[in-house]
Structure formats: C-alpha cells, structure tokens
Amino acid sequence: MEYLKSRLLSSALVLSLLLPLLALPMGETFAKADRLKIESTLRVAGLLTEYKEDPLGIDVTRPRLSWQLKSLKANERGVTQSAYQVRVAPSLRELQLGKHLVWDSGEVHSGDSIQQAYGGPPLRSGQRYYWQVRVWNGEGQASEWSAPAYWEMGLLSASDWKASWIEPDLPEDPSKSGPAPMMRREFKLNGVVENARAYATSHGLYEMQLNGQRVGDEVFTPGWTSYTKRLQYQTYDVTRLLKSGDNAVGVLLGNGWYRGRIGFEDRRNVYGDRLGLLVQIRVVYRDGREELITSDQNWKATTGPILMSEIYNGETYDARLEKPGWSMPGFVAAGWSSVRVANHRKDNLVAPAGPPVRKTQEVRPLKVFKTPAGDTVVDMGQNMVGWARLKVQGPAGAVVTLRHAEVLDKDGNFYTRNLRGAEQTVRYTLKGDGPETFEPHFTFQGFRYVAVDGYQGELTTASITGVVVHSDMRPASEFETSSKLINQLQHNILWGQKGNFLDVPTDCPQRDERLGWTGDAQVFSRTAAFNMDVAAFFTKWLKDVALDQFENGSVPHVVPDVLSSPGKPAGGSAAWSDVAVIIPWNMYLSYGDKRILETQYQSMAKWVEYERRRAGDDYVWDGDFHFGDWLAFASTRADYPGATTSKDLIATAFFAHSTDLLQRTAQVLGKQEDAARFAELLSRIKKAFCREFVTETGRVGEDTQTAYALALQFDLLPDELRPVAAKRLAEEVRRRGHLTTGFVGTPYLCHVLSRYGYLDEAYMLLNREEYPSWLYPVKTGATTIWERWDGQKPDGSFQDKSMNSFNHYAYGAIGEWMYRVMAGIEIDEAAPGYKHILIQPQPGGRFTSVKVSHNTMYGTVSSGWTLSDDKFELVVEVPANTRATVRLPRTQLGNVMESGQALTNRPGISNARQEGESVALETGSGRYHFISEVTKPARPGAPSPR
C-alpha cells in the first residue's frame, strides 16, 4: 500500500511537471525537462568502450560505447531509454564543463544503450578521450550526466613507432631451448614527469621492469596471434615508475609460442629463431616537453637466472645467477653484450582487442602426502592452470624440483604419461640468503598435483600456492541448483574455461598441445558466453581465424595455425572449420555485436563457398578429411556396431548450418542479394541431406543420436518428419539409457530432446551418474571437464595415454542447455544481446530449485525457480532498457499470481495469455515474483518455442 501510494505520488509529480511540455516537439521537451531539473531517479553506469572499462591503448577507429541504466526508485518496472546523449572531450575538465568537446552526439532518439559507435572526427594516436552519457527514459525524464569514463588510443600507424627492433647479440643455438635473455638501458629524464606511457612488444614473450619495478600486471605478453600477420603490443601507464634524473629499463625475453617448442610434432622456431624487442616510452614533462626513450643500439644484453623457460616444459631457474638491481640505474653491466638493430616490420602491430592474461586468483593446497611409490605430493584440490609459487629456505645450490600432474593413478601414484612430451617441470636452485619465493616466467602448467623433490625443511601446504592464470574476462553468471552434483558440474565447466582461455581458446592446458583448436572453441562458445564475458576475447581470436584462413576459404584446424606447413594445409574439417561462421554468430546473439558480423563476413562467406565447392553439384559433402563425431562414446565400443555417425552426414549437416547462419547474417547486415542466394543454397542442401541421409519414415543416417541431433537442431528435415525423428531419437536414448555422442553431437543432444518435448529424456541424460555421462567424472572426483567420457575408467585405469586430457572444455557445452533450458534464459534472435529476453524455464529431473543470474550488456537478468509439489515459484529480474517474454510452464492463466496478485493489471506486465500448456506474458524491466500451480506434463513431439 505504502509502495502504491508513493508510486502514485511520484507519477503525479512527474506528470504535473511534464504536462505543460507535452505540446512541444520531442527534442524541445527533453531540453526543457532538463532545465526544469526534475529530481532524476535514473542513473547511467557501467560505461564500457569496446567491452572494456577505461581501456588504455586501443586501435579501433570508431570505438563502440555501451552503458547501463539504473533506476534509483525501489522496485521500479518498465524502465526504458527513449534518447541519449554522449559527449567526448580531450580532458576531464573540458568534459565536465561541456567545453571544447571533441564530439557531442546531441540528443539521439534511440533506445540503443549498447554498441553505439563514436561518431566524431578521427581519433589521434596516443590521445586520451573522456566521455560521459546521459539518457532520457520512456517518460522523457533525463538522467544526470554519468560519471566520466575514458579510452586512450594506442599507436595507430607504423610511423608512430620511432623505436627500432633490437635483438640480443648472444651466442645461441636456436635448435635448443636456452637461457632467457635480459636486456637493459639507462636514461636520464630532465624534468618532472607529468605523464608517461610505455608501448612494448616482442618476438617471443617479454616481461618489463622500470627502476626495479614490474611494469603492469599482465603475463604472457604480447599474447599469441598469427604473429607474421598480427603482433599485439601493450600500452602501460608508467608515469609513477619514472622519476626525474637517472632511470633504467630492463626486459626479460622468453621463447613462448614464437620460437619455443609448439605443437605435438616437436616444432620449434615456428615464427622465427631470434627473440626481439620493440619498446617506446613517451614521457611528457610538466612543462610540456616530450621525450621518447626507445629500443635502439644503446641497449645491452646478457643471460641470467632463467636457464630454460618453455610453454610445455616448465622452467629451470638458478637464483644464484640473479643480477640484483639489473633494471635500476647505476647497475654495472660489466660483461653484457651489445644488441643488434633489426629491420623487422612494424605494420603488423596491433593493439590487443581481447582482455590481457593475468594472475586471477590463488589456490591454497588441500594437503601434502606421500604416494605409495614414495613421491611427496601437494594436492591443490583443484585441477588448475598457471603455476605453483614456491616458498623455501635453504643453502645456496640446493635444487627444488616441482613436477605437475592432473591425476593420480588407481594406486594413488603421480601420473604424468598423459602429458605426452610436455615436461611441466620447474627446477629452482636456491641462492641461500634467507626465505626465497619463486614463480616461473614464461611457462604454465595444467595440474592438480605437484610432486616436490629436494625441498629444504618441512614441506607444508604453506610452501606452495597455486597461481591461476588466464585471460582476465569478467565473470558473467551465478549458478546454483538443488543438485550438488550439477553444481559441481558447473564448477568443472567454469574451471575448464579458466584453464583454457589463455589469450587463445585452447583444447587443453597440459600436454604438448594447448592449441587453438577450432572445433572445441566452436562447440563451447555459447556456454563460454554465459560463464564469462568473452566478447572481446573472441573478437581478438576471430581476427586470426580470418587471417589464417587459407586462400581457398578452408579454415585451419588450429588458430593461430601452427600445424600447416608449406604445401600442406591442415584444415577444412566440418564442425571445426565452421568456427568461422558459428562463433561470430554466437557473439552477435550474446552481445548484440553487429560489427563482429561485418568484420568477419568475408571470412564467413569464404568458408561457406569452400564447403559449396567441396560438396559439388549434388550438395552432399562427401569424401574429404573430417574429424567426425570426435571421441564419441560409440567410437570406443566394438559392441555398438553402426553407432558411429558418418562423416559425410556430419559434413553436409554443418554445410547447411553454416549456410543458414550466413544467410541470417546477410540479412542482419542488409545484404539482401546475398541473403537470397544463401537461402536458396540452404534449401538445396536440405533437400540433398534428406535425399541422401533420411528415409521416408524419418530414420536419419545410421540411426545415431548425433545424426538425429544434427538433423533436428539444424532444422534439416521437412516439418512432418521432425516429430517422427525426434521420437526415434528419444527412443534411442531410452533404449541405451545414455548418450553415445562425441564432440559434434553432444552440444545439441539435450536441446533437441527438450525442444521436441522429451524433457524427461534430456534430464535423464543430464542426471545420469554412471559412465558415460557428465556426472560420471564428477562422481569420480573430477574438478574440471575431461576430454573423454572415460578418461578414468570405472576400474580406475586410464584411457589411452596419448590422448587423455583431464581439462578439455568441449563436453562442458552442456552448460548452455543448463542456462537456456533449465534456467530458461534465452536470447531472441530478433533483438539480440538480451534486448528482448525470453525467460522460459523448463523444470524437471527431480530439481527442486535452479537459480541463475547472468550479466548481460544491459545488466543482470535472472531466473530463479523452486518447485515443491504442484507449486512453481519463479523470481525474474529483467534489466533496465530491456523487456522479456516470460513463459511459466505447465499451468493455466487463472493459476498464476505475481507478487501475490492476479496477473491482470500488474505493473510492468502485459499480454498475459495461455500458450498451449504454458502461460506467457510480456514484462518490462524490473523484478517479478510469480507463483503458479503446475498442471499436467507437456506432450512430447511438438516443438517448444525457441
């Protein structure tokens, strides 16, 4: 009642102030309303530039700005934006005064609050731009200007680089992994430093120090791209690290992906056999003078304590060889060598589009124990990726060895055979001058267990700390259900993502692979976007997908492509190469990112053209190399004859799917002719698919789960055969009692079942605890997703050591179903990025509650339900400036209440209606609390709305 009164009062107030203005044209209304200074209940917050908060050093020439609306009124519903105004200024002061603006968008009558491109004059290299935004809500009420945000441009053209590439002039054998070079120079600054930036990159990896302090908090810089085409540089604010007078800069170089060992074929020097450095420090003095300190012939080089550091193999470090003070002024660089100035290109330098790789969290070990074989092992309690920080004290020259493993074998012994050729070993030689703490530099390990040898004193859980390292993406969801096992599954999926998003999406983080496998990334991308904000991460990686794409349109198996060699392209597998189409589309859906479609369009179309050529006149793609339904359960079982899905079927299905997505992309981009052409192609492929693989009675291919999953998920069958095929699939699932799918079929299986009304079968698969299933590894103690359904078999023995990763996210793609169907948070393709949200949970499988919230570009959407007896309770949160269609399952219109009242005339709710067995309604933003009585279960066979 109180609430109602205050609402009435405030709307009366707003109305009385607005009434006199109603006769005015829109623009004027807003201006006047602003002058009248109505106490605003609207706020704008969460300002992002190109998905980043106040980014330094970007090179997007028309950066996109996004913001979120917040209502200060408790329980306000239906908040929308009717207009916005953005202003951009060269300084904070000018921004706040609204003077000398670089750009003023003026009042833009638009509901768009994300992805709005800067529209002012060309942006200048190295310049910082401050911006803020204000908005008007649906009633024309204005917000205050938001708190300021900024972005800063990087170096936009090759000619902005005045520094020279330099290479240490040291005796080296590039066929082996040798000591890591150190490089340094000193410089004088004559004046008070007002502002300073360092721009840096390298051939190999680098770690930079200024005056004895680490520059920035990023690791594995400059990241991994297709180096010959694109090399990232980082921008650092180093103002506070510099001082008037003597200064010094020091840089460590590591082999990394550039010239270290990479790939399972034991290749080295893939991009070059010399490490190099390019650094440019721009100093602006208080009196306005500017100075550049660059990499040039004045640097010196040597080697030091890092005797070996390689991505796969670990690091060997002799602390006795440290050079204290080497990055400080006054250090005597006696015996240091000179450097060579090299004439490498600079036109491939780019600012990072993705998030930097950082140390994101620390893990305290569970326990220290001795294995039956006598190893002393630290158990981190979590299969993690990064490294172990070692604390030790002892005599100089003592060596502590850390070996890393993911699992113990069935006897409880340390097991490393699945690492293949990756040594994952850190050797630390003590300097012996008191307590020592060590972290390796240019290597990472995938591990839960650390076997420690040579430790000095008593090894305890305090001696080792797990340092978790990955691309620093914002966590995007909270997820909790009434099932502990499913919560652990979600935990495992999340840790699979943490472990394998390290500047590129990798298949695994431990064996001699760790490559950007396209199929794995494609399969997992939608789940990834629920768990974390992956927009910038994939924006970056997709650029390399396009650049590494072969001339004929085929896409490499791994990106960056380190598997192809001259004349021997490694790519073109269906479901792997389709990444070129699938991920851009998923990013468009999840983030409303139209630009990613524009940017990738050519690459997407090239891939589909390739498929078309390979399929030929009959539109059936047969005969080429494909991975097929990789690691399907059925493929490891001789007693499941015919249970393997043919590669021709898979290839033709993905050919159709990519064509379909491309056709939709063309429509989104307004390319009508292309859209029509691809739609026509799609209908031909569908016909061909049915002719070749589908019988009149709805049998698809070899009658496998994957065959049905693909045909139904991609809508390849004629309408009348869909329920028939779905029924066949459901029967097959019931007959087996479990899934038989691999990488390709697994992500779609539950979707197809629930979509066609076989929710019980989908939940049965999800909840199954015996092998093969998602929960079998969970029951076995897994803390990440395994590569194979039976990585560790029920008898405790392991799968084939040559391919048995315990941290492979592909099967984690079930996460998408848990978000989209269990919690029911779904995207409307017609209003992507959650501008219009579908909230349509489908309870089942003995779950009594599922609570999920997801941070979208607009704010948090949540769907939390509980089910007891016949009562279904659903709490929904819809972010400001979006709307939702809520579907309450299995109930009748008269049986639904919201916040204790019947649906008619509830604020923020409209068009409540019976839709088959559900009640559907429309909401504006806000929080809603529904209670409904559940009636009979849905009838299988009819597809539920997507």
Assess whether 436 carries a catalytic annotation. no
User: Residue 709: in which H helix or E strand, if any?
Assistant: helix 705-713
- In this structure, the dihedral spanned by the alpha carbons of residues 660, 662, 663 and 665, taken in order and rounded to 10 degrees, is 130
Closest CA to 572 of 615, 617, 543: 615
Two structure tokens written together for 179: 């000591």
- Closest residue to ligand BGC using C-beta atoms: 507
Chain-centroid distance of CA 677 in Å reads 32
Q: Which stretch binds ligand BGC (CB under 6 A): 81-89, 228-236, 511-519, 884-892?
A: 511-519
Supply the minimum distance, in Å, between the C-beta of residue 777 and ligand BGC.
Answer: 16
Nearer to ligand BGC, 517 or 786 (CB): 517
Question: Which residues make beta-bridge pairs with 902?
Answer: 897
Q: Which residues contact 384 (CB under 8 A, 6 or more apart)?
A: 363, 446, 447, 448, 466, 468, 495, 498, 499
* DSSP sequence for 207-250: EEEETTEE-SSB-STT--S-TTT-EE-EEEE-GGG--SEEEEEE
Nearer to ligand BGC, 508 or 675 (CB): 508
What are the distances in angstroms from CA 449 to CA 249, 802, 805?
Answer: 37, 20, 14
Least distance from ligand BGC to the Cβ atom of residue 803, Å: 6
Question: Binding of ligand BGC at residue 512 (CB under 6 A)?
Answer: no
Min dist CB 624 to ligand BGC, Å, is 15
312 binds ligand BGC (CB under 6 A): no
- Helix orientation angle between 535-548 and 579-591, rounded to the nearest 10 degrees: 160
Among 519, 553, 777, 815, binds ligand BGC (CB under 6 A): 519
Using CA atoms, how far residue 248 sits from 122, 167, 331, 945, in Å, is 35, 18, 9, 64
**Total residues contacting ligand BGC (rule CB under 6 A)?**
10
CB 397 within 8 A of CB 319: no
Residue choice 310, 512, 513, 877 for contact with ligand BGC (CB under 6 A): 513
> Rounded to the nearest whole angstrom, what is the least distance from the CB of residue 175 to ligand BGC in the complex?
25
Closest CB to ligand BGC among residues 520, 761: 520
Give the nearest distance from C-beta 789 to ligand BGC in angstroms. Answer: 14
Contact with ligand BGC (CB under 6 A) among 224, 588, 627, 789: 627
- Can residue 521 be called a binding residue for ligand BGC (CB under 6 A)? no
Nearest distance in Å: CB 513, ligand BGC: 5
Residue 500 CB, shortest distance to ligand BGC, in Å, is: 10
- Whether omega before 222 lies within 30 degrees of 0, making that bond cis, reads yes
Residue 507 in contact with ligand BGC, rule: CB under 6 A: yes
The closest of 574, 565, 663, 648 to 611, measured between CA atoms, is 574
Residues 783/383, Cβ–Cβ less than 8 Å: yes
Among 576, 631, 573, which Cα is nearest to 786's? 631
630 binds ligand BGC (CB under 6 A): yes
Residue 310 belongs to what H/E stretch?
strand 306-310
Within positions 525 to 564, which residues make up the interface with ligand BGC, using CB under 6 A? Answer: none
Closest approach, Cβ 558 to ligand BGC, in A, equals 8
Paired tokens of 19: 């009434």
- For the beta sheet containing 42-49, the strands, ordered from the edge strand earlier in sequence to the opposite edge, are 42-49, 64-71, 116-117
Q: Which is nearer to ligand BGC, 170 or 813 (CB)?
A: 813
Shortest distance (Å) from residue 787 CB to ligand BGC: 6
| DSSP structure string for 758-806 | -HHHHHHHHH--SSSSSHHHHHTT-SS--SSTTSB-TTSPBS-GGG--S
Going by C-alpha positions, the residue among 362, 442, 359, 440 that lies closest to residue 403 is: 440
Of the listed 107, 152, 787, 826, which one is catalytic?
787
Is 748:709 a contact under the CB 8 Å cutoff?
yes
Task: Identify which range of 78-86, 183-191, 517-525, 829-837 contacts ligand BGC by CB under 6 A.
Answer: 517-525
Of positions 520, 533, 648, 660, contacts ligand BGC by CB under 6 A: 520
Residue placing its CB nearer to ligand BGC in the complex, 537 or 627: 627
Strands (DSSP E) along 324-459, which ranges?
Answer: 337-342, 349-350, 357-363, 367-370, 376-392, 399-405, 407-408, 414-415, 425-429, 436-438, 445-453
Least distance between ligand BGC and beta carbon 531 (Å): 19
Position 898 contacts ligand BGC (CB under 6 A): no
**What's the min distance (Å) between Cβ of 150 and ligand BGC?**
40
Instruction: Answer yes or no whether residue 517 interacts with ligand BGC by CB under 6 A.
Output: yes
Nearer to ligand BGC, 560 or 864 (CB): 560
- Interface with ligand BGC by CB under 6 A: which range of 65-73, 512-520, 600-608, 888-896? 512-520
Q: For residue 18, what are the contacts with CB-CB under 8 A and spacing of at least 6?
A: 29, 33, 139, 140, 141
Site string for ligand BGC, 784-823 (x = CB under 6 A): -------------------x----x---------------
843-879 exposure pattern, b = at least 16 Cβ within 10 A, e = fewer: bbbebeebbbbbbbbbbebbbbbbbeeeebebbbbbb
Nearer to ligand BGC, 746 or 932 (CB): 746
CA distance 254 to 256: 6
Supply the minimum distance, in Å, between the C-beta of residue 356 and ligand BGC: 25
Catalytic residue among 513, 816, 877, 898: 513
Q: Please tell me whether residue 508 binds ligand BGC under the rule CB under 6 A.
A: yes
In the complex with ligand BGC, the residue whose CB is nearer, 378 or 508, is 508
513 is catalytic: yes
Nearer to ligand BGC, 668 or 803 (CB): 803
What number of other Cβ atoms are within 10 A of residue 12's Cβ? Answer: 10
- What is the closest distance, in whole angstroms, from the C-beta atom of residue 781 to ligand BGC in the complex? 22
Strands 376-392 and 367-370: antiparallel
As given in the structure block, the two tokens for residue 400 are 């502590």
Is-cis flag, bond preceding 560, omega within 30? yes
Pick between residue 557 and residue 887 the one whose CB is nearest to ligand BGC: 557
Residue identified by tokens 């004859």 is 641
Give the nearer residue to ligand BGC in terms of CB position, either 66 or 804.
804
- What is the rounded CA–CA span in Å between residue 256 and residue 505? 16
- Identify which of residues 520 and 917 has a Cβ nearer to ligand BGC in the complex: 520
How many CB atoms are closer than 10 A to CB 713? 17
Indicate whether 406 belongs to the interface with ligand BGC (CB under 6 A): no
Q: Are 258 and 271 in contact (CB under 8 A)?
A: yes
141 or 510: CB nearest ligand BGC: 510
Q: Which residues bind ligand BGC (CB under 6 A)?
A: 507-508, 513, 517, 519-520, 627, 630, 803, 808
The catalytic residue positions are 513, 787
